[in-house]
Structure 1
């Protein structure tokens, strides 16, 4: 065996163009002397037969010492080694400014390629035509528990006895999706020959551990769950978002709420939106989110009253596979999905006490455990809660935690019911007419004054949601382009005007208290026809109602 060491004087080292020129020179020398040449750098234990794969894999840099060798200890072997050394140190070292710029570009691409190969999360193994390893990335080295110096230049079966990568060179055919054991780990592998000018120059093997694929499958399943959730939310919210181009209303009470909401949107503090059902609490919550720095992140809605108590925890925090019967796969919770964004907890007053404790922890620590999970998960979520319940009264009755109430009630927004902002009814009616007419493909364009007066006089227990439903009903009933009285429900048209005062005066003077008590009891009995129902409406016992009826000679049968 004859060998000789040289220092590489080439700018940017032996990159693709230089490697191609060296390989071409080696082919000339083999034809002239009949000798195979090998190359090794100081970090390699074994020399590699000189080829494009070998030269690129060694990553030889400028001023690096390399060893050129041949297995024959003969005159021709010595001449072949010396000729190649002179070619590299003298002929290749000649500086050419144009080629130097090309070399810089090649070097940049080589560095990018190397970083991709090293950081890709699958094992990559490359052998030359003789079966010697030229490339093995970090993932592959980790699987076999070896260092690069221990494998580069070694025969592949000495490192991986179970591999058939050398057969790929001979058969010139790909193999995809096969399994094998590497260092006692089951992997899925694909193998393919490497061609240059229709000639096989080596083979490539790509593999990944099955246990890691299970984690990927789990993440894909979670991503699928999130995607399905977003699809449902998009479908549900498209109509909601389009129902208000902006929040409609000019009343001072609404404007006061919007000012608070606008300030809340610039903060990350918890918001509690209060108001009767149908007043637009979710619309305000969505507006706060859309005006915040989290607007590009998820807005996740949870109706605490609509989810059974035994399912609420898994819905909020997710669950792990096998956590309970039927949990055939893990599922992320709403807090996971809302991470980085906003979670809207609607009907928070209906949340059971057992869940209130766990929600309090999320508010305080921003962490939780999924059902059946062993690790603590941390989230960055902005919480907006809403309720139509009297939380203060619930605290007195021990139905709502006082500490949770104070955690939620940082920024409080009290939405007024529609009966307290009747100046907005006309604007809302016009908006709903335009929106619903387009949806139903009807030509209804307005509402007459008499119908508007009826809408103004109605007390609206269902608030804005009820108004929208009534307008939709009227548009369906309408045979013309204008909504009239005949298109409105009977109970709207027959609403009597509200009195300016709850108390009747006689010549400007008050009646005795018993007069008003008798009138109230009589009205209650006329409406409810039972002592029990009348008592509940008036806030007194049924026995008290019965005694008052006897006192004022109110006959339940004659009312």
Structure 2
């Protein structure tokens, strides 16, 4: 996916934050210098972009580094009575040298290692904006698009904003249609990696036989039919940015072991190729309870504990029905614009109908139901008659509930009752309650959140 991106305008703020920095091409012509570099070497404005660096800094050594291909790190030199550490690094694309960068530190709190890390990140930005061929590098959603007046969901949004600024792996749990992907996109946009790749892999949408090569990539000649030059996997495509592994609960057990190594070691094994270090922030989504899957032997416990560093549990629509009027108005405005309709709203009976339904498909089902009603009315308010399918579904659901009780529903009700009794018996002591129930305390916490037990 090609994008028209002006690298200089995007990277300028980042470069200035590094302090004393100059970047040159292979002919030692100045590509960029920061304000502090110009001040240090008394170079007048406008800065001489395109001119040879040695014309303004006669004793510079960056040109020699480019010619020799040998970088110099942590070298001391004196200038204008100050002793400084200078680092001269090469900017590369694969095996080709694109230019060089020099940066210095005087009384900075940053260590040389931290500065090297910043330059490593800058090199990845250069590579990204020059090559710019990644799939799914952009996000479609941001946190402000979440429509709610529900206090619990507002607290979750505030927590998400804080968690997004860290490097920690995030596990997003929610039923189908609750907006897990919206949260995942928002996490990337709110992080320090927002200008780097955002790559998505749906673990349930790709056949098991192809999932490994999609995730890790492969080298040329790795197997019959392999592309010439090999192929980058999704993890490598996300290097420097964020990888969203959607429906992680669908990943086969044998592949979970390989993913665990990546999450732990920050290194991938390309199929038929060499190990590569990677810098990726992982976000995972699931519509199933992974703690339960661990108990059933369907998900690795070591991987579960690695990816469940930060957990976000998105409440289903049936638990925040106060948001339904807001969501209905939003979808009406959206569909009016998309379909060229002139729907003014819904009558009160429709809202009562919508709020009495349990919405197993959550927000996605609500949007589909509103769009279906649009096909019956081109203007005015939507009436109950426009929601014939919803009324039929509700009638069938009521009949089913009257005649059957599923094993899953019975088990959930029994679990909830047992937890409430254990907490009452132990006077709210969760550790003792978990021992009484003969389950791990983390599983107790998961079930308390699931059943909204305070």
Do they superpose with TM above 0.5?
A: yes
For residue 455 of structure 1, what is the aligned residue in structure 2? 354
TM-score by length of 1: 0.49
Which residue of 362, 366, 370 corresponds with 1:471?
370
| Counterpart contact for 1:457–1:496, Cα < 8 Å | no
Q: Contact (CA 8 Å) 1:454, 1:495: kept in 2 or not?
A: no
Cα distance, 1:279 vs structure 2: 0.6
CA drift at 1:348: 0.6
Cross-structure match for 1:357? 257
Gaps of 5+ in 2: 1-47, 70-93, 97-126, 413-454
Residue matched to 2:403:
523
RMSD between aligned residues: 3.8
Structure 1: which 4+ aligned runs deviate by more than 4 Å?
108-115, 118-121, 226-229, 496-499, 519-522, 534-540
Equivalent residue in structure 2 for 1:338, among 232, 238, 248: 238
Bigger-Rg structure (1/2): 1
Counterpart for residue 395 of structure 1: 294
Q: 1:324 to 1:522 in 2, by over 3 A?
A: same
How far has the Cα of 1:248 moved from its partner?
0.7
- Equivalent pair of 1:457/1:497 in contact (CA under 8 Å): no
Tell me the TM-score normalized by structure 2: 0.60
Q: Return the alpha-carbon distance in structure 1 between the equivalents of residues 53 and 292 of structure 2.
A: 71
Structure 1 residues 228 and 524: alpha-carbon distance in aligned structure 2, compared to 1, 3 A threshold: same
Assess if the C-alpha contact under 8 Å between 1:454 and 1:493 holds in 2. Answer: no
Bigger RCO (CA 8 Å, 6+ sep): 2
- The answer to whether the 8 Å contact 1:275/1:415 transfers is yes
Q: 1:272 aligns with which of 160, 171, 194?
A: 171
CA distance in 2: counterparts of 1:397 and 1:455, whole angstroms: 36
> What is the distance in 1 between the residues matched to 2:64 and 2:345?
65
Deviation at 1:212, TM superposition (A): 7.5
Residues 82-101 of structure 1 aligned to structure 2 (within 5 Å):
none
Matches within 5 A, 1:85-124: 109=52, 111=54
In 2, the alpha carbon distance for the partners of 1:494 and 1:313 equals 40
Asked if 1:443 corresponds to 2:323, the answer is no
1:536, 1:247 → 2: CA distance?
A: 31
Which of 181, 196, 202 is the equivalent residue of 1:303?
202
What SS does the aligned partner of 1:314 have?
helix
Task: Specify the alignment match of 2:152 in structure 1.
Answer: 253
Q: Deviations over 1:493-535 (max 9, x none)?
A: 6736999xxxxxxxxxxxxxxxxxxx9997129xxxxxxxx66
User: How many residues are matched?
Assistant: 307
Displacement of 1:245: 4.7
Of the three residues 318, 327, 331, the one matched with 1:428 is 327
How has the CA–CA distance of structure 1 residues 110 and 352 changed in structure 2, closer, same or farther, with 3 Å as cutoff?
closer
CA distance in structure 2 between the partners assigned to 1:311 and 1:364 by the alignment: 23
Structure 1 residues 114-513: aligned runs within 5 Å? 227=132, 229-230=134-135, 238=140, 241=141, 245-329=144-228, 330-373=230-273, 375-492=274-391, 495=394
SS at match of 1:340: coil
Kindly tell me: are residues 351 and 520 of structure 1, through their superposed partners in 2, closer, same or farther at Cα, counting changes over 3 Å? closer
1:488 partner SS? helix
Distance 2:371 2:306 in 1: 40
Give how far 1:477 is off: 2.4
Deviation, 1:270, is 0.8
